[in-house]
Chains A and B, each alone.
Chain A
Amino acid sequence: MRAARPAPPIRVAIVGGGCAGITAAFELTRPEHQGRFAVTVYQQGWRLGGKGASGRGEHGRIEEHGLHVWMGFYENAFRLLREGYAELGRDPEADPLAGWRDAFFPSPRIGLTEEREDGGWDDWTALFPPMPGLPGDPLTLENPFSVSSYLVHAARLLATVIESARRRQGTSAGEGSGVPRPSALAPEAILENLARLVRYGHLATLVGLAEAVRGLGVLFGAWSRRPPGRGTEATVLRTLENVTRSATRLLSELARGDGELRRVWGIVDLLLAVIRGVLRFGLITDPRGFDAVDDYEFRDWLALNGASRATLESAFLRGVCYDQMFAYEDGDPERPRTSAGQALRTLLRLLFTYRGALFWKMRAGMGDVVFAPFYEVLLRRGVRFEFFHRLEALRLAPEGQPSPGERPWVESLEMAVQATVRSGKPPYKPLVDVGGLPCWPARPDYGQLADGQRLKAEGWDPESFWDRREVERKTLRVGKDFDFVVLAVGLGAIPTVAGGLVARDRRWRRLVDNVKTVETGAFQLWLQKNVAALGWPGAEGITLTGFVKPFDTWADMTHLLREECWPPERAPRSLAYFCGSLKSPPELPGRDDLGYPAARRKAARQEAVGFLDHYAGHLWPRAVRPGGGFRWELLVPPGAERPAGPERFDTQYWTANVNPSDRYTLSLPGTAKDRISPLDNTYDNLTVAGDWTACGFVVGCVEAAVISGRLAAHALSGRPRLEDVVGFDHP
């Protein structure tokens, strides 16, 4: 008897190898699927990573799209990362960065900088204590993502903050006054005191506030299973108003003239506004969750809920909710805009659900520690990678073709093949070895490519939207070359590659019209001195945000130098990353605007040079000359040439991320509804993945991209179960 032939695998074409596409590939090729899906990843250019890509340049210099840190609440991203490393099975004895904990390390500090009235800048560092567990650990029965849980946490944090403010002011009259410890104090005395206390109502002072808030926490805790009725919320609100009034009066007076306390007060005020807003807007029970306030701009919403002007302008709010999220419409510093719903979700998740540390930094480029390991694992699982394949057009079956009741589908994918591998050499091997670590190079390996030397000489850039050189066209057809498509390109690429969809489907039109992206810029400096010698008074390894636009974020990434391979006599002492959103035209530039990328790159350079000349002195007082101006000689060039003055900057690395697909996805107010879900089944064989999708966590970040990739896999395979996509179900 002949054995039944196994069903042929379902062919999935994943277009785009960023976080989202790679996640989808990883999910669809899990061994549990027993080879049900045959996955091919189509990627333009020579490397995976997209907005998170990095490459190795001269001396193994790590060159990145921008600063990338992972937050301690990236449950999905860390979970996959840990699985990926486990499967990779590197030898801890022999291989560098063998395990995920070698690749990532906790970074519990965030630095914020704030402009003083006299035009100077003040820095302060907030330390976020380690929290139990590690990101990606299994979660069990307790749901960390409930509004009640957030309220409990918020109340606890408030209590702690108020308490520390009180201690700082030395208002604990008992302190040092020889008051016996509670257990030693005669019960009668306490009783008497308490009775008096109660009689005269003196709990209504700062000392009582901490307890009041703590008590609120207990009560919020009681909501974790049983949402309160509206009446209850009103009562709590009233209590909260009272707490706030007292706190405001007392703390803001104390805080005047004391920078540290003022910042503490800013956080208290912010949290109180958040709690009040959550209660006032009924977000605990609203079936839309925080999306119910998606139409509000976050700061407007906070103001509505009583946040003070100082809080709205505080470095904490600006740094954490705007600068880190590039949340400036068209990159315009005058237009900070982000959706209240999404910012609230992010802020609460960030502050109250992180595990281990608030931030996790990488020991090498994100390409090296994330995309190279996944590339290797996926290759072993049989995933095919087609580099140098750029999607030109996704074509639907002609309108009217689906018979009644049938859904429209993708008929073909038109690919531009940007380069081919020299005969006898395929497939293209994309990784290079840097000190034993498989890494992506900063440029294609021309040696493997047909006509490689010519391409190199011509300055070919296959990642550029404007570089249209190609060697051939390929049309992939449904049923022949693929069955399903996962469209995982960046949002900015959609109008170009899926123009047909956009023209035909109003929802796709709304997506590209309303969900905006912004250009970003970044530069990296290799310096002759360490940060202390440059005059930075704080800790090494700081990530500081809230600074001057456009490069409002600085991170000391000196730890990366260990992974680079400089000749010892020329080794830099520190490595600084700067990053921010660039002021950019509201309309995406056309494909025929060939001069655009070079012009933007030039502008970014100018901004960077000006920034260093004018503002670097604040961070690094010893990096500027007595009369002002940056000491360019501090920069370490990789080559023998050592230009003087600002020209030395050209030996460093900088980028203007202007390719449409590389633009950062914003969460502008009122646009969450315009996104399209990876679970949407309008097109029979198409799903989407990317940080721009309606993936539940509507924020441009690695976690959103990973969630979207998992959802796309679910859409095709039913796995992972939606309940297992951590935090997808979230208020």
Chain B
Amino acid sequence: MDRPRHRRRDPQRTGPIRHSGGAWAKGEPWHDPLEPEDDPVSSGVREGYRVIEEQIRRGQRVAQGMDDEPRSRDRYGREHRERRGRRPRPGPEESWPGYDYDVPPRGGSDPFHLLSMPARHLGRLVQEILRQIGSARPDPLRLAGLLFQLQIEAIAELTRLGFSTLGLGSRWGDAFQEDVYRVQHDIDEGVREIEEEEEEGYGEWRDDEPGHGSWDWRGIPGAPAVIHASVPIPVYVESHESTEIVLDLPPGSHLQSLEVEPPLAVGTAEPPAPAFEAEFVDLADGPVILRVEVPRDLPAGLYPRRIVTSATGEPVGTLTVQVGTIPKPSSKTPRKVSPKPRPRAEKP
């Protein structure tokens, strides 16, 4: 049968997006047309990637932490208090597409800034390294970051002293070499131990069931946080347990100065209920961030708090922190992870 000729529509584009991030940066989650969106396996895997994302973010935080080093946590608070009353500067309007919990760029946060930093805070750095090594669940990424920082500081110091940086070891003779090795060995062992633990999880060959061997949760270290924020405020989480954080604020409301209300008193005679710490911090040369810290002893559960304006105390939104671990499926049976509702962690 003869028919009029079909014409094609112009394609949306004719080549790949090659710059960093590609179409992913547009924030459309990778969607498998044949996999129902709520399929437990794919959402489990999706969650897995979020966790990885969080790990990267932690690395980023380490790097940023290096930059913010002069501002100790106390100082954060103090600066914040000093700034209260001033209108916080708006964060970048555009949230990080697809990663609503992500850290937007801000001036001065360049982690490599460090490379030209003069040597300082060595004591604190060393202490932090020790704390990490000694802690029950050291974070290898953080540890590596700290070690690197230590190295940078050493390089900076040497540079200041007029030596070229690396490649210097031999000039100092072998007397110190042993110390170097010994200490480094200790640290390495610690890191390796942690990594081996992780890798046991990764390395296991899953030959059982096609299609289900997609992710092994046991390989994922640290305490992941999944963050949903309705406004573009970076959320920094410090927690030993996995958390899910929902920051619910109406659009634009983050442009004013905000506070997280203390937990509501249950009864006057009761001791104060355990709570997470949270505060909005206005960084000197960047946006406002929300810092959330979950104390070690906070039991698994759901912790809602109100957000109010600093000026009038009027409630504008909520911050909900759910503390609990992501379930660990057995590697033998096909994984059935249902992220909704998220199962609570049993506290040891």
Q: Which residues of A contact B (CB under 8 A)?
A: 8, 10, 32, 82-83, 99-101, 106, 129-134, 137-143, 145-148, 152, 163, 171-175, 177, 179, 181-183, 185, 187, 190-191, 193-198, 200-205, 207-208, 210-212, 214-219, 221-222, 224-229, 232, 235-236, 238-239, 242-243, 245-246, 249, 284-291, 356, 407, 409, 478-480, 483-484, 677, 679-681, 684-685, 694, 696, 714-716, 718-724, 726, 728-731
Cβ-defined contact, A183 with B20, below 8 A: no
Cβ-defined contact, A146 with B7, below 8 A: no
Contact code string B142-161 (vs A, CB < 8 Å = 1, else 0): 00110111111111011000
Interface residues in B93-112 (C-beta closer than 8 Å to A) = 96, 98-99, 102-103, 105, 110-112
> Does B219 count as interface, using CB distance less than 8 angstroms?
yes
Residues of A within 8 A of B215 (CB): 132-133
Cβ-defined contact, A203 with B180, below 8 A: yes
Shortest beta-carbon distance, A436 to chain B, in Å? 20
Q: Which residues of B contact A (CB under 8 A)?
A: 1-26, 28-35, 42, 45-46, 48-50, 52-53, 56, 59-60, 62-64, 96, 98-99, 102-103, 105, 110-112, 115-116, 119, 122, 126-127, 129-130, 133-134, 141, 144-145, 147-155, 157-158, 163, 165-169, 172, 176-190, 192, 202-205, 207, 210-211, 213-216, 219
| A-B contacts, 21 listed (Cβ < 8 Å) | A138-B42, A140-B46, A179-B186, A181-B186, A190-B183, A198-B150, A201-B155, A208-B151, A211-B148, A211-B187, A215-B151, A216-B148, A218-B62, A225-B96, A239-B155, A246-B169, A479-B5, A480-B3, A694-B15, A722-B13, A723-B24
Q: A179-B186, A218-B145 are in contact. List 5 more A-B contacts (CB 8 A).
A: A32-B33, A131-B202, A141-B30, A147-B20, A201-B157
Q: Contacts A182-B189, A483-B6; is A101 near B63 (CB within 8 Å)?
A: no
Residues of A within 8 A of B98 (CB): 141
Shortest beta-carbon distance, A559 to chain B, in Å? 15
Cβ-defined contact, A730 with B60, below 8 A: no
Cβ-defined contact, A132 with B30, below 8 A: no
Cβ-defined contact, A183 with B168, below 8 A: no
Cβ-defined contact, A142 with B53, below 8 A: yes
CA distance A282 to B153 in the complex (A): 27
Residues of B within 8 A of A249 (CB): 167
Residues of B within 8 A of A677 (CB): 14-15
CA distance A143 to B210 in the complex (A): 23
Of A83, A141, A194, A236, the contact of B183 (CB 8 Å cutoff): A194
Residues of A within 8 A of B6 (CB): 10, 483-484, 684-685
Cβ-defined contact, A214 with B148, below 8 A: yes
Cβ-defined contact, A286 with B13, below 8 A: no
CA distance A351 to B169 in the complex (A): 33
Shortest beta-carbon distance, B193 to chain A, in Å? 8
Cβ-defined contact, A236 with B14, below 8 A: no
Cβ-defined contact, B185 with A179, below 8 A: yes
Cβ-defined contact, A225 with B60, below 8 A: yes
Q: Contacts A207-B181, A724-B32; is A142 near B49 (CB within 8 Å)?
A: yes
Residue of B nearest to A211 (CB): B147
Of A137, A195, A219, A730, the contact of B63 (CB 8 Å cutoff): A219
Residues of A within 8 A of B187 (CB): 182, 211
Of B12, B63, B178, the contact of A218 (CB 8 Å cutoff): B63
CA distance A15 to B71 in the complex (A): 67
Residues of A within 8 A of B210 (CB): 82, 99-101, 134
Residue of A nearest to B22 (CB): A729
CA distance A183 to B32 in the complex (A): 46
Cβ-defined contact, B126 with A191, below 8 A: yes
Q: Contacts A191-B130, A214-B148; is A227 near B20 (CB within 8 Å)?
A: yes
CA distance A195 to B219 in the complex (A): 33
Cβ-defined contact, B8 with A731, below 8 A: no
Cβ-defined contact, B18 with A731, below 8 A: yes
Shortest beta-carbon distance, B101 to chain A, in Å? 11
Of A201, A222, A288, the contact of B168 (CB 8 Å cutoff): A201
Shortest beta-carbon distance, A454 to chain B, in Å? 37
Residues of A within 8 A of B21 (CB): 143, 146
Closest 5 CB pairs of A and B: A215-B148, A289-B18, A729-B22, A174-B185, A173-B181
Cβ-defined contact, B45 with A137, below 8 A: yes
Residue in A101, A145, A174, A177 with the greatest tally of chain B CB atoms within 10 Å: A174
